């Protein structure tokens, strides 16, 4: 039996957070930031299931929020929800459907933005939030494909769940 190599996803998370807070912090696509840690959470959740996806999302959110220095709770909650929800999708849907990663990325970005709006309603205007969310949904739906392809090379499907 082949052992899962889940330790590699944690290295990928550290690399994603490091890139996000250095090089990608200055890079904007149509006025919106690319969220590489969120894209790794989406990919890990689709590939490894809800338990690892939720834990990975929680840690990704805590790291991102702590390093950014704002909205730690919103980052942690949104990544936890995204990781757990997408990881609970039927295994066949997430592996056999080529549109699954872009659709999941679009939904995850919309959900994350909504959680940020609910938890921090006075930090930005509703018009700015709506425009930023629409641009982010489109850009992340396109950019998830190479990220998901790379993460699929690192993450092996789980042999069994943690709780069985």
Query: Mind listing the pLDDT tens digit for each residue in 17-58?
Result: 999 888 877 777 777 788 999 999 999 999 888 899 999 999
- Domains of the chain listed by start with CATH number: 7-154 (1.10.1760)
Q: Which pLDDT does position 47 carry in this prediction?
A: 87
> Nearest-CA neighbor of 33 among 85, 68, 82, 73?
68
pLDDT at 60 over 90: yes
In the predicted model, what is the mean pLDDT of the chain? 85
* Residue 164: pLDDT band with limits 50, 70, 90: very low
Give the Cα separation of 133 and 86 in Å (integer): 19
pTM of this structure = 0.86
* Alpha helices (runs of H) in the chain, residue ranges in sequence order: 7-21, 36-48, 50-68, 72-87, 91-96, 100-119, 126-154
Q: Which pLDDT does position 4 carry in this prediction?
A: 56
Give per-residue pLDDT as tens, 84-96.
999 888 776 766 7
């Amino acid at each position: 039996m082949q052992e899962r190599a889940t330790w590699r996803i944690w290295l990928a998370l550290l690399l994603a957070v490091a890139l996000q807070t250095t090089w990608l912090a200055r890079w904007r696509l149509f006025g919106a930031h690319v969220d590489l840690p969120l894209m790794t959470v989406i990919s890990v959740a689709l590939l490894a299931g809800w338990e690892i996806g939720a834990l990975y999302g929680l840690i990704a959110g805590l790291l991102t929020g702590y390093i950014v220095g704002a909205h730690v709770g919103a980052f942690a909650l949104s990544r936890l929800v995204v990781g757990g929800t997408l990881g609970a999708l039927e295994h066949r849907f997430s592996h056999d459907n080529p549109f699954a990663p872009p659709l999941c990325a679009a939904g995850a970005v919309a959900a994350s933005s909504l959680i940020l709006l609910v938890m921090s309603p006075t930090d930005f205007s509703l018009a700015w939030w709506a425009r930023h969310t629409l641009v982010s949904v489109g850009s992340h739906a396109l950019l998830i494909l190479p990220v998901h392809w790379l993460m699929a090379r690192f993450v092996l499907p789980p042999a069994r769940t943690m709780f069985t």
